[in-house]
Structure 1
C-alpha cells in the first residue's frame, strides 16, 4: 500500500516537471511561443502618411514588415456623427513586447486626433516567417 501511494505521489509530481522540460526543450529548439508576436493595425488618411509611418517602424526595428492596404472605407461614429472616409490600412508584424513603443511612434507621426493602433497576438503561423519576425525585431 505504501509503495503504491509513493508511486502515485511521484507520478503527480512528475507531470508538471515533464511539462516544464518539454517547454524548455521547445524554446531551446526554436519553437514559437504563441502570443509572443503580434499583428498590429493602423488606419491612415493617405498613402503618403502610411508609407512614412511604415518606413519609420521598419527603420527603427519596431516592425519586421508592414503591409499597406490601399483604398479601404471606414464607417465610424465621431463626435456624435456617423462618418465615412477613405483610408489606408497598415498591417504590421512585430513582437508583442514592442507594441507600446510602436504605438508611441505612430502617435507622434499620425495626423489624426486619435490614431487607431490595435494589436492582436499571433497564435500560429509559418514557423520560418515567425522566426524571421523575431530576429528582425529585437526585444
Structure 2
C-alpha cells in the first residue's frame, strides 16, 4: 500500500515500456483484472538515464495507470511479473483532489474484481 494513503485513496501509477505493443498488452491485462480502472498510453518519449554505469537514451512509452491505494500492492506485483525490464519504473502518485464522480468511478471499477 502507498504510505500515508487511505485504502480508498485514488492514485496514478507511472511506468514506462520499450514498445507500444508491450505497453498495450500489459494495460489490457491490468484493466481486465480490475487492478486499474483506466490506463492512458502516452506516445513514445525519450528517457535519458544512467544504468549500470552508462548513459542511455531510449525511446519509451509511458503509462498513466488510475487505481486505488488498496489495489497498489497487487498491481505492483502483477506489473513486475508482466514487465520486460529487470527494474521497471513504478512510481505511485497520490491524487489530491479531482472530479468526485470520476474518482468514484475509478474506485468502483477497481473494486469490481
- CA distance in 2 between counterparts of 1:70 and 1:105 reads 23
Per the alignment, residue 11 of structure 2 pairs with 38
TM-score where L is the length of structure 2: 0.89
Per the alignment, residue 135 of structure 1 pairs with 108
Per the alignment, residue 16 of structure 1 pairs with none
Q: Cα deviation per residue 1:41-95 (whole Å; 9 max; x = unaligned)? A: 0100000000011001100000000000011110011001111100000000000
Richer in helix (by share): 1
Larger radius of gyration: 1
> CA RMSD, aligned part only?
1.4
Per the alignment, residue 27 of structure 2 pairs with 54
Per the alignment, residue 75 of structure 2 pairs with 102
TM-score where L is the length of structure 1: 0.73
Greater relative contact order: 1 or 2 (C-alpha under 8 angstroms, separation 6 or more)? 2
Aligned length in residues: 106
Unaligned runs of 5+ in 2: 1-5
Richer in strand (by share): 2
Per the alignment, residue 18 of structure 1 pairs with none
Unaligned runs of 5+ in 1: 1-32
Per the alignment, residue 24 of structure 1 pairs with none
Cα distance, 1:99 vs. partner?
1.0
- What pairs with 1:6-45 in structure 2 (closer than 5 Å)? 36-45=9-18
